[in-house]
Amino acid sequence: MPSSPPARRLVSPRSIWLFSLVGALGIGAARGALAQAPAAVPTAPATAAAAPAPASAAPRIAFERYRLKNGLEVILHQDRSLPLIALNIWYHVGPSSEPRGRSGFAHLFEHLMFEGSRHVGSEFDRLLESAGATNVNGTTSWDRTNYFETVPREHLELVLWIESDRMGYMLDNLTQEGLDVQRGVVQNERRQTYENAPYGPSTLAMLDALFPEGHPYHGAVIGSMKDLEAAKLEDVRAFFQSYYAPSNATLAIAGDFDGAGVKALIERYFGTLSDRTRPKRERVATPPLAAPKRLTIVEPVQLARIAVGWIAPPAFGPDEPALQIAAGVLAGGKATRLYRELVVKKKVASEVDAEVDANELATTVIVSAVAASGKLPQDVERELDAVLAGLAAEGPTPDELDRARRRLMLALKSELQLLNGPGGESGRAGLLQRFNHYLGDPGYLDKWVDRINAVTAEDVRRVVHKHLSPNARLVVVTQPAPAQNAPKKGGSK
Amino acid sequence: MKRWLAMAAALVTAACGGATRAPAPLPAPSAMPSAGAINSPELWRTQKPGPGQPGQLAYPLPEVAKLDNGLVIYVVRRPGGVVDLAVVSRHGAASVPKSKSGLAALTARMLTEGTKAKSSLALAEATEALGSSLDGDAGRDYTKLELSTLREDLPRGLELLAEVVKTPAFRRDELERVRGEWLDGLVAERQQPVRIASLVGLRVLLGDEQGAPVAGSVPDVKRIAVADLVEFHRRAFAPGNLALIVAGDTTLAEVRPHAERLFGAWKVPGVADPKALAIPAPAATRVVLVDRPGAVQTALFVAQPFPKRSDPGYEARSILSQVVGGLFTSRINQNLREKHAYTYGARSQAIATRSWGAFVVTTSVKTQVTADALSELISEVKAARDPALGRPLADDELDRGRADLVNSVGAHLEHNSRVADDLLQMYVYTLPADYYAKYSNLILSVDRGEVARQAATLVPDQLLVVAVGDRSAIESPLREKGFRVESADPRTLE
């Protein structure tokens, strides 16, 4: 029961399917205290304590990578154990490349990519559903946008037909009406995910204040209502022309395909699409906050909340493995520090979380806690500070380090069962894409696991001290509005 | 709000961070391609490719065994080095005593809070040392404990599960601590408009007792005592009510000796299943309103009674729900989202438990269009029910509904946890062991007439609607459209 809106990826346009009516049956309620930090990777040596067996060898994902003449990059991963094929295309562009006054545009554009294309027409969803496609979606993150689906293997050619047509001919089917409808849909997505969701306004405030105005990561991926309102057809055309070229994309296919046949099909469907020069990307140096900042947001909730955000170095930098472990030492299980201290011992919080969101220019770390009933935000903040200070001073115990590492390893192995994960950046196709996008090396998995294994308690202490400093952070306090604490009986307004 | 544009990299200095970067202008109009200018049309692309050689997506038969004390073991072998384990009781929220809502879920949670030999912390450390977490949860018809382990840790994982199920501590001080956390969880849940709509909706539809939330109402959770946990555990976790579910890199031959050793000698008398519940539909459509002043959206929950899980026609009702509101291209989602942009999405589900069922549609719509959206939603239910309105159920939409159901179950084979969920359904709803192996044939054999017969049981003029939104903005438009609007009984929000 995550009670905080996403600070990270926007999954759309189908993410509505993620909220299932299972919730209507009340399943899983009141278990929010153990919110999980995002999984990274890893394996671990055994400790004597509970005598678990030694961890097995570092996992690998077999792959082949090549390029078409027009620059389209292809990554193939064959696995014939189930007659399924997952296709996952990453365009190496995200909101960090949006034009001035067009926040939210990359994500709105992603919605429009489902509206149709010249030869296929506007029936993508009907075609895919008729073919029995599952995990159909697109997601937008700071530096990339992806589109993916899993189909029975006999429909490989169908999805190559659809994906190549929207890569080459999406503009041909673009209409003002389509833009207007999807603008309205996205505005409703913003209302549902942030404006009308508990702690949503606080999350928007965090994202608006963490990176300075003008920085590529300033604001939320969803954008502002005003900018969404301003988006025009010319913007769509310009964005497509600039960023949706074959050489700015990577196509990953995982599953039950014939090795030679698939290459011929990819060449047939994508080979004739013309390339354009992709705009140069430049890395913007993104240091931590220069001074502590603090905001208070009043919301119609009953429980206060504290969220603390930091800017850390870019994805896969030298300190990321230790930061991922630090997040696992802090939260995500009942034997973690924030949970033990804030929820169990001091009883100031009812829910704790630690998230690491690693991107090209910077990593965002957000540690948050929802207050227990009757507890003030300052009670929560004081205890949260004490835990962080303790970790920065002493580091984790050997058992804490081992548990965090093992949890990462099990999560990774569990995730590797999937051909493609729900957001298109986990599962095998998703991980190949992620490693390729950030490192240019789809096969980085075993190296990453080695790096996680090499993390020491001193590394964790050092990165917490260095990157999660009280002097370079943004604190967002959600203060309950006394007058509107709860939904009241009708008429009691 | 402005963002830096990579395209105009020249404008970006290598300035130290925190500096505001000069944003780039939009590309000049002359640089913009006109529609279709990038790639020339290619006639061959207008031809939709046909399917290739299909594979056989064979859902495996689980290995099933029953121990002398009644405990059933289900095993599905899957590669990948990970094993998902669950101990599932056939008793859940539907089996708890009156005024003790939340007892099943709270018992599940308390099972994870310590055994006779291990404190809460020691148990958490032992499971997390395996890289795992021990999760307890309940639904209407089940209570379960789950743990996943690396293959090599399987014996240790089974030992932990057995220890937890057989020798829970249920310490009073731990209950008081967890109760505090649990009550805060209930408060947090009731901060979410969509959850409020469902909570109120099920309580109005099913009545106070069966409609109470699985996680409990605030007053009920406050009165649950250690004795209640002990009694529910004794009844629900008797071996004759339990299944051990195993999905992953192992076999029955490997699991069984462990299960005999850990669970075999343990005998407790079981209890009977809950009785079927007859739910009346409202005499006429009614809108129950929960005021949320200033809300920019209204959360809607629209429901009617539907048959329970074991009643004939479950698969036909599943297909019907897909077409009406389950698919992305369903009638309701296409209307409310893709035609009118009233919402980010709308979805229906044919909920079916052991003792009752309901057809439910949920969505969140922009405040100003609440009444229009509700009318459109109901018009889709009407059109699906009554072919005379001109839009009878069509073969192509039924095909999409069937394809989605069949392939979604097929895709469960990608992950242990999804297979384990299927096995849970199989056990709890006493489905035959080949249910999923034959699922595809079962769904594909449901014809249009059968779905139409189920559609005829929709009652679009007798729906229960819960609307969580800004009363001052939505009540009058709803009344103008002829809806009967009433205020939610505050007790349904507890």
Comparing alpha-carbon positions, the chain B residue that sits nearest to A124 is B329
d(CA B261, CA B254): 12
Phi, psi (5° rounding) for residue B428?
Answer: -65, -40
Q: Which amino acid is at A318?
A: P
Q: Are residues B297 and B259 in the same domain?
A: no
Q: Which fold has domain A285-484?
A: Cytochrome Bc1 Complex; Chain A, domain 1 (3.30.830)
d(CA A302, CA B477): 30
CB B125 within 8 A of CB B249: no
Comparing alpha-carbon positions, the chain A residue that sits nearest to B336 is A185
Calculate ∠ Cα B426-B429-B430, nearest 5°: 70
Q: Which residues of B touch A184 (CB under 8 A)?
A: 341-342
A355 CB neighbour count, 10 Å cutoff: 22
Comparing alpha-carbon positions, the chain B residue that sits nearest to A170 is B36
CB contact under 8 A, B185 and A180: no
Mean pLDDT value of segment A29-42: 32
Q: Are residues B301 and B247 in the same domain?
A: no
Nearest to A171 among B35, B187, B215 (CB): B35
% chain A with pLDDT above 70: 86
Q: Are residues B402 and B475 in the same domain?
A: yes
CB A337 within 8 A of CB A394: no
Return the structure tokens found at B240: 């004759």
pLDDT of residue B267: 82
**With helix as H, strand as E and coil as C, how does B268-299 read?**
CCCCCCCCCCCCCCCCCCEEEEEECCCCCEEE
E strands, A233-362, are 249-255, 293-299, 305-312, 349-358
CB contact under 8 A, B156 and A50: yes
E strands, B338-441, are 343-352, 357-366
The DSSP call for residue A334 is T
Q: Within a domain: residue B51?
A: no
Expressed in angstroms, the distance from the first to the final Cα of chain A is 28
Q: Are residues B237 and B346 in the same domain?
A: no
CB contact under 8 A, A1 and B156: no
Nearest to B181 among A47, A350, A487 (CB): A350
d(CA B112, CA B123): 8
d(CA B227, CA B234): 10
Average pLDDT, chain A: 88
Give the distance from CA B274 to its chain's centroid.
Answer: 21
Q: Which of residues 223-262 of B touch A (CB under 8 A)?
A: none
CB contact under 8 A, A169 and B39: yes
CB contact under 8 A, A238 and B26: yes
Mean pLDDT value of segment A473-487: 79
Q: Largest Cα–Cα distance of chain B, in whole Å?
A: 82
pLDDT of residue A493: 30
CA torsion sign for A83, B80, A59, B131 is positive
Backbone φ/ψ region at B298: left (φ over 0), alpha (ψ -120 to 50), beta: beta
CB A73 within 8 A of CB A250: yes
Using the structure block, give the residue that is written with the tokens 């630090």. A326
d(CA A25, CA A17): 16
d(CA B246, CA A383): 40
Total H helices, total E strands in chain B? 16, 12
| Final residue before a domain boundary, out of B263, B296, B312 | B263
Return the structure tokens found at A138: 């697109």
List, in order, residues 6 or more apart from A309 with CB less than 8 Å away: A206, A210, A364, A365, A366, A473, A474, A476
Query: Rounded to a whole number, what is the distance in Å from the CA of A462 to chain B's nearest CA?
Result: 23
Confidence grade of residue A30 (pLDDT, cut at 50, 70, 90): very low
Q: Within a domain: residue B2?
A: no
Query: Rounded to a whole number, what is the distance in Å from the CA of A287 to chain B's nearest CA?
Result: 5
B176 CB neighbour count, 10 Å cutoff: 10
Q: What would you report as the CA-atom Rg of chain B, rounded to the nearest whole angstrom?
A: 26
Nearest to A81 among B79, B177, B345 (CB): B79
Phi, psi (5° rounding) for residue B320?
Answer: -55, -45
Calculate ∠ Cα B338-B344-B349, nearest 5°: 90
Q: Which residues of A touch B33 (CB under 8 A)?
A: 171, 237, 241
Domain boundaries, chain A: 64-270, 285-484
In terms of Cα–Cα distance, which of B156, B146, B142 is closest to B84? B146
Q: Which domain holds residue B355?
A: 286-493
pLDDT of residue B57: 87
pLDDT of residue A489: 37
**DSSP for A416-455, written as a single string:** TTSSS-TTSSSHHHHHHHHHHHHHS-TTTHHHHHHHHHH-
Query: Rounded to a whole number, what is the distance in Å from the CA of B189 to chain A's nearest CA?
Result: 7
CA distances from A297 to A310, B344, B468 (A): 18, 25, 23
pLDDT of residue A317: 97
**Strand ordering across the sheet containing A363-371:** A293-299, A474-480, A305-312, A363-371, A349-358
Q: Does B133 touch chain A (CB under 8 A)?
A: yes
Q: Are residues B444 and B379 in the same domain?
A: yes
CA distances from A448 to A60, A453, B92, B158, B191 (A): 10, 9, 42, 31, 40
d(CA B108, CA B100): 14
Return the structure tokens found at A85: 């094929």
Q: Are residues B372 and B335 in the same domain?
A: yes
Q: Are residues B318 and B238 in the same domain?
A: no
CA distances from A285 to A7, B18, B270 (A): 22, 9, 66
CB B293 within 8 A of CB A493: yes
Q: Which of residues 405-464 of B touch A (CB under 8 A)?
A: 406-408, 410-411, 413-417
**Strand ordering across the sheet containing B143-150:** B63-66, B72-77, B242-248, B82-89, B143-150, B135-138
Q: Largest Cα–Cα distance of chain A, in whole Å?
A: 69
CB contact under 8 A, A414 and B148: yes
User: ipTM of the assembly?
Assistant: 0.90
Helix (H, G, I), strand (E, B) or coil at A91: strand
pLDDT (tens digit per residue) in B371-422: 999 999 999 999 999 999 999 999 999 999 999 999 999 999 999 999 999 9
A34 pLDDT higher than 60 = no
d(CA B40, CA B54): 33
CB B185 within 8 A of CB A198: no
Q: Are residues B252 and B330 in the same domain?
A: no
Decide the pairing of beta strands B464-469 and B286-291: parallel
Q: What is the pTM of this model?
A: 0.90
Q: Does B473 touch chain A (CB under 8 A)?
A: no
CB contact under 8 A, A172 and B414: no
B34 CB neighbour count, 10 Å cutoff: 8
Considering the domain A64-270 in this protein, what is its CATH number? 3.30.830.10
Best B330, B344, B428, B492 residue to mutate vs chain A (most A CBs within 10 Å)? B344
pLDDT (tens digit per residue) in B204-220: 999 998 999 999 999 99
Give me the number of domains chain B comprises. Answer: 2
CB contact under 8 A, A50 and B126: yes
Q: Are residues B127 and B72 in the same domain?
A: yes
CB contact under 8 A, B14 and A490: no
Mean pLDDT value of segment A58-69: 94
Calculate ∠ Cα B200-B206-B208, nearest 5°: 70
Q: Does B342 touch chain A (CB under 8 A)?
A: yes
d(CA B116, CA B106): 18
Using the structure block, give the residue that is written with the tokens 């249920």. B170
Beta bridge partners of B467: B289, B300
Fold equal for A64-270 and A285-484 = yes
Q: Does B476 touch chain A (CB under 8 A)?
A: no
Q: Are residues B146 and B226 in the same domain?
A: yes
Comparing alpha-carbon positions, the chain A residue that sits nearest to B178 is A344
CB B356 within 8 A of CB B210: yes
Q: What is the domain-level CATH number for residue B206?
A: 3.30.830.10
Q: Are residues B240 and B292 in the same domain?
A: no
Residues of chain B under the 70 pLDDT cut: 1-37, 270
d(CA A175, CA A251): 27
- CB neighbour burial string for B13-27, b if at least 16 within 10 angstroms, e if fewer: eeeebbeebbbbebb
Beta bridge partners of A309: A366, A474
Q: Which residues of A touch B410 (CB under 8 A)?
A: 84, 132, 134, 152
Q: What would you report as the CA-atom Rg of chain A, rounded to the nearest whole angstrom?
A: 23
Using the structure block, give the residue that is written with the tokens 């035959």. B432
List, in order, residues 6 or more apart from A96 with CB less than 8 Å away: A142, A143, A216, A217, A360, A361, B3, B4, B6
CA dihedral A444, A447, A452, A455 (to 10 degrees): -140
Q: Which of residues 361-400 of B touch A (CB under 8 A)?
A: 362, 364-366, 396, 399-400
CB contact under 8 A, B297 and A191: yes
d(CA A354, CA A338): 9
d(CA B436, CA B442): 9
Confidence grade of residue A482 (pLDDT, cut at 50, 70, 90): confident
Comparing alpha-carbon positions, the chain A residue that sits nearest to B54 is A154
Q: Within a domain: residue B366?
A: yes
Comparing alpha-carbon positions, the chain A residue that sits nearest to B129 is A403
Return the structure tokens found at A72: 């389209």
Q: Are residues B251 and B341 in the same domain?
A: no
Query: Rounded to a whole number, what is the distance in Å from the CA of B229 to chain A's nearest CA?
Result: 17
CA distances from B400 to A19, A133, A134, A472, B112 (A): 21, 10, 12, 53, 42
CB B198 within 8 A of CB B468: no
pLDDT of residue A31: 30
Using the structure block, give the residue that is written with the tokens 């006639």. B43
